[in-house]
Chain A
């Protein structure tokens, strides 16, 4: 079904259940859908598995969700940062589970989910602790590790602009995981700075075709905050 424009952030995250796996876009704060995460905090879903490159920065966005003890497990490549103190404390206290995944494998596992690929062999991580216990196979003389897809019940992503059909364009490096996550979840919600009329986005420049997008939230406050 074509994308629905949401009246507010509550509508955008409605229906995400306890125990859900939620893909959250962004690399640091670039592309992080902060308004949707804040709405998810108010919405109340708990016991979540969050898949995101990082494990939150400072006290806002993902870090705030973690601080509310709503996340059972983080799947990410780089939890440790100078301002990841919320995650660090939960991890050291044994109160959150961590699945550490090499960044490219994280992206490719979601890409596989979105593309209907059952699993794939990847040379990344061979001989390291992150490949322990995984099936391996030598292909063309090189050892590969078998990796399985990561599919989300929901994906929350940040994009720059949407049209009323849900076609998305991103801006600079804020694109990062958005286009991949948009393909890999049952419910895909995009927070955008601007919604434009159908036809106002040049079809040649669409990055995420609207077929992947279920809900769009226009967030003018986010737009002002970013100054563009």
Chain B
């Protein structure tokens, strides 16, 4: 079973050199710490910047320079700034190679629920999640495979309100990595738990990895 940092390192190692990537708030933010300095990966932040740098500390902190989570960040050489309509046109227009999002639930068909628990006193907040989910060329979700209650989060059908339909390409969890697509749910890699044991704890049909999805863009 992987720690959150190990999951982040794994996601980072699967991001190709030079990719344009958006990291969602929460768990995906950790991925930035594991990208090699020479990876050439360009981070996009929804609030209007490309080539965002690491977190700002001390005298680097500038209230005019924050990430999507409103935390102070830095800029890297070659950075650019743009307004919100352009930032989201970049997403919807299919210009981002990958986005990494957190998840409450992902369905076998790739539906994502990650913005609202639907509980009556919960205050709904969607931010840019719906735009990212349908806009990036490849959507990775990073989440624990089981909720604290033990309920699986990879499910036949999402019970939480949806963020997007059939939008998730790959799910990174602490127990396994899953590819979602025309072949259904394909177990790409496991961490301690075998496929049979996983199949016993999940309600979705699983198959083993035998190579990349046909016709699928290799992220």
Question: Interface range on chain B: under 10, 10 to 19, 20 to 34, or 35 or more?
Answer: 35 or more
Report the separation of the CA atoms of residues A81 and B123 in the bound assembly, to the nearest whole angstrom: 10
Chain B residues in contact with chain A, CB under 8 A?
45-49, 62-66, 70, 75, 81-85, 87-89, 91-92, 111, 116, 121, 123-131, 134-135, 161-165
Q: Which residues of A contact B116 (CB under 8 A)?
A: 129
Complex CA distance for A228 and B129, rounded to whole angstroms: 33
CB–CB A176/B47 < 8 A: yes
- Contacting B88 at CB < 8 Å: which of A91, A100, A104? A104
**Known contacts A123-B92, A128-B163; is A207 also within 8 Å of B126 by CB?**
no
User: Which of A84, A100, A125, A173 contacts B47 (CB under 8 A)?
Assistant: A173
Given contacts A53-B84, A80-B125, A174-B64, 13 further A-B contacts (CB under 8 A): A77-B126, A78-B127, A80-B124, A87-B123, A101-B126, A107-B85, A123-B92, A127-B162, A160-B64, A173-B64, A173-B65, A175-B48, A180-B84
Give 30 CB contacts A-B under 8 Å: A27-B70, A31-B64, A81-B70, A87-B123, A98-B124, A100-B124, A102-B127, A102-B129, A103-B46, A103-B84, A103-B127, A103-B131, A104-B85, A104-B88, A107-B88, A108-B88, A123-B134, A124-B130, A124-B134, A170-B81, A171-B64, A172-B62, A172-B81, A173-B49, A174-B63, A174-B65, A175-B81, A175-B82, A180-B85, A228-B64
What does DSSP make chain B's interface, helix, strand, loop or mixed? loop
Most chain A CB inside 10 Å of its own CB: which residue of B75, B81, B124, B130: B130
Query: What is the interface residue range for chain A against chain B?
Result: 35 or more
Known contacts A104-B88, A176-B47, A180-B83: A77-B127 contact under CB 8 Å: yes
Given contacts A28-B70, A104-B131, contact A176 B123 (CB under 8 A): no
Given A108-B88, A174-B64, A102 and B128 contact (CB-CB distance below 8 Å): yes
10 tightest A-B CB contacts, nearest first: A104-B88, A104-B131, A28-B70, A80-B125, A127-B165, A107-B84, A174-B64, A179-B83, A103-B128, A102-B130
